[in-house]
Chains A and B, each alone.
Chain A
Amino acid sequence: MKLVSKLFIALTVAVLIFAAYQGLFVAPTERTMGNVQRIFYYHVPSAWTAFLLFFANFAASIVYLLKRNPAADAVAAATAEVGVVFCTVVLVTGPIWARPVWGIWWTWDARLTTTLVLWLIYVSYLVLRRYSIGTQTSVLAAALAIFGFVDVPIVYMTIRWFRTQHPSPVIGGGEGSGLDPSMWPPLLWNWLAFSMLAIILGAARYRLQRMEEDVEEQHAQAALQGSGR
């Protein structure tokens, strides 16, 4: 078990390095944006990874509410935390890319705003986990996770309507529309690398969560026995 995880970490490091090489050297330079477009290979894979993690969080929360399985709750905690990290990467790399290309750091366009609201929802989820007391944390957090996930499509619809009514200062940024075929391999390599990194971080966070539960359990046991002595 130890050996497997060590091998997996080594493999992830290798893939990360290879993906970075792909993104920085192998991928063609974009015609109008130049080298700054290479941030795309970090921005988009981070976003995909974050969305995947939030979906895993939603699934784990439902499983927890149905089965009351503590492992599912630990998965939910781990995926939400790592998801917020990747979502933060998206929100930081986005403006860095937007500034030279669009001329502005931020615009309240549908995708940007939805990502920001998504980030806010999951940060509030982490705050709730942090501040609730005892074992009821899991149920409360799972309920909030379901609210958050249901909210995201509604947010996207409202913002899209909101923004299409007003003239936008930015002329489209549709990077997905006409991606050069030679850009796909670096993109997918980076996505693979980031997903593997997310698995490592998530697994570490999961183990930590389970250990914390064990420690709490033992404290409770010790307190019960200590009072009898």
Chain B
Amino acid sequence: MTRATLAKDLRMEWRSKDAINSMLFFALLVVVIFSFAFNPNAEESRQIAGGLIWVAFLFAAVVALNQTWARELRNQVLDAYRVSPAPANALFLAKAIGNFLFVSVLEALMAPLFIIFYNLRSVGPAWQLVVVAVLGTWALVVNGTFFAALSIRTRSREIMLPLILFPISIPALLAMVDSTTSILTGEASPDFWIKMLLVYDVVFTAVCLLLFESVLNAE
């Protein structure tokens, strides 16, 4: 069930490229606008890049997350999922993994642009950035997928998701930004922040899996 839904979502995305295209363009705009707004030199950009990168990815991820469930509303697909005997969590995991892949592709494509536009060179060990990216992306995406399922039930769908996602994501965002900054500047150890992200991921994945069934079946 997880694999079937995931394969279907990936195939749809591969053919339409809706989410990736809009995310990419959106993130590109954020990069350019931030660059104008702050106009940093190499040393400054190392200090602020962690914040810029993650804020850009956060905003861009919202674009993809909003589309997660919206495409299932057409032709009452979501109702069909609801009456099917397949476990609800399998559906949730498929959607979350799908979003994780979309946002990861976005990050892989955007990272070189950041490096070029902001003249970034990491002082600390750069491979740790990959760990931060994986844990951070999952932190954004797991809650985002869940909250997208909440927000499609509301009157103002698109605006609702960031309103409920951002407050809950503040600790994760802080951990991502600070670990990235401490790796780039090489001034401090990012270990605490990586552990924090891990705790956040484990806790909220558990909460999502615990509550998703009630939310899917909410009438």
Chain A count of residues within 8 A CB distance of the other chain: 32
* A14 CB–B CB distance under 8 Å: no
Q: Is B170 touching A155 in the complex (CB atoms < 8 A)?
A: yes
Chain A residue, CB-CB nearest to B197 = A158
Chain B residue nearest in CB terms to A128? B164
Q: Say which residue of B153, B154, B175, B204 sits within 8 Å of A147 (CB atoms).
A: B204
Q: Beyond A154-B200, A158-B175, is A139–B156 a contact (Cβ under 8 Å)?
A: no
A155 to B167, CA, bound (A): 10
- How many of chain B's residues have a CB under 8 angstroms from any CB in A? 32
A157 touches B154 (CB 8 A): no
**A146–B168 CB distance below 8 A:** no
Partner of B174, one of A120, A142, A146, A158: A158
Expressed in whole angstroms, the Cα–Cα distance for A155 and B200 within the complex equals: 10
| Closest chain A residue, CB of each to CB of B175 | A158
Q: Which of B22-30, B33-41, B66-74, B210-218 contacts A (4 or more CB under 8 A)?
A: B210-218
Give complex CA distance A159, B147 in Å.
Answer: 24
Q: A132-B155, A143-B150 are in contact. Are A158 and B164 (CB under 8 A)?
A: no
| Beta-carbon contact of A131 and B156 below 8 Å | yes
* A65 to B156 Cα, complex, angstroms: 24
A150 and B203 form a contact (CB under 8 A):
yes
Render A135-154 as a binary contact track against B, CB cut-off 8 A, 1 for contact. 11001101110111011001
A77 to B188 CA separation, bound complex (whole angstroms)? 44
- A162: Cβ under 8 A from any B Cβ: yes
B153 touches A155 (CB 8 A): no
Identify which of A132, A136, A154 gathers the most chain B CB atoms within 10 Å of its CB.
A154
Chain A proximity of B186: nearest CB distance (Å): 15
Q: Are A121 and B215 in contact (CB under 8 A)?
A: no
Chain A residues within an 8 Å CB radius of B168: 121, 124, 147-148, 151
| Cα(A194)–Cα(B199), bound, Å | 36
Q: Flag whether B48 is at the interface (Cβ < 8 A).
A: no
User: What's the least CB distance linking B147 to chain A, in Å?
Assistant: 8
**B219: A residues at CB distance < 8 A:** 135-136
Q: Are A124 and B163 in contact (CB under 8 A)?
A: yes
- Does A165 sit within 8 A of B, measured CB to CB? yes
A133 to chain B: which residues have CB within 8 Å? 153-155
- Residue A170 at the B interface, CB < 8 A? no
Task: List, in ascending order, chain A residues with CB within 8 A of B178's CB.
Answer: 162
Give the CA-CA distance A132 to B192 in the complex, in Å: 38
Nearest first, the 10 closest Cβ-Cβ pairs linking A and B are A139-B218, A136-B218, A120-B167, A131-B154, A158-B171, A121-B167, A132-B154, A143-B211, A154-B171, A124-B164
What are 30 residue pairs bridging A and B, where the CB atoms are less than 8 Å apart in the complex?
Answer: A65-B214, A121-B168, A124-B163, A127-B160, A127-B164, A128-B154, A128-B163, A128-B164, A131-B154, A132-B153, A133-B153, A133-B154, A133-B155, A139-B215, A140-B153, A140-B215, A144-B164, A147-B146, A147-B168, A150-B203, A150-B207, A154-B196, A154-B203, A158-B171, A158-B175, A158-B196, A159-B174, A161-B192, A161-B196, A162-B174
Q: Which residues of B contact A (CB under 8 A)?
A: 143, 146-147, 150, 153-156, 160, 163-164, 166-168, 170-171, 174-175, 178, 188, 192, 196, 199-200, 203-204, 207, 211, 214-215, 218-219
Q: A131-B155, A136-B219, A162-B178 are in contact. List 12 more A-B contacts (CB 8 A).
A: A65-B211, A117-B167, A121-B168, A124-B164, A124-B167, A127-B160, A127-B163, A133-B154, A144-B164, A147-B143, A151-B167, A154-B199
